[in-house]
Amino acid sequence: MSEPKKIREMVRYVFNYYVKNGLNKTDEKDAKRKLGEKFISKINEYLGAELKDKVAILNNIVEDNRIEKKEKEKFIGRIRELVDESSLSKKIWDDILYFIYLVRNNVFHGSKDITQMSGIKQIERFKIYTAILLATNEMLFDVIEDNFQWVSEDRNRVRELQKKEFP
């Protein structure tokens, strides 16, 4: 299974869990809004700032042979949808993570040199990408904890390690 498909499967699992559980108490639209609010809250926690205040930084994404203009615009559009509507659909989440996957490929296989990768604008974007990944990861742990009796001490240890790596 390719990396994008693995990412999509994880998103599908976590998304369906939250929406299914949310539907027990409310309608689908409200469940997606609650999921979006939770996701944004976790992103903000890792960013140490509001995601809505950081969206403009994404306009500095530089297109190249791996990240085309349409991919960049789609990603920024999805982030704006998430922030403006505080609602998270599987498609929005999937598209956001797919773009971060493209960035990851670009970092390891792209044409940028170390100077370009260490620029302040690039670092600020990396912080956003990392916060999104950590929030996704934490929500996966939430699902595992609820369904598989994940030991809270283990989860807390992982969370503390994440925070040390991402101050």
Contacts of 138 (CB under 8 A, 6+ apart): 42, 159, 162
The total of structural domains in the chain comes to: 1
* Amino acid sitting at position 157: R
Model confidence pLDDT, tens digit, residues 119-157: 888 889 989 999 998 898 888 877 777 666 656 666 666
CB atoms within 10 A of CB 75: 21
Dihedral pair phi/psi, residue 110, rounded to 5°? -85, -170
Model confidence pLDDT, tens digit, residues 9-36: 666 666 666 665 654 555 778 878 888 8
103: containing domain: 3-165
What is this structure's pTM?
0.77
Cα three-residue angle 17-37-10, rounded to 5 degrees: 35
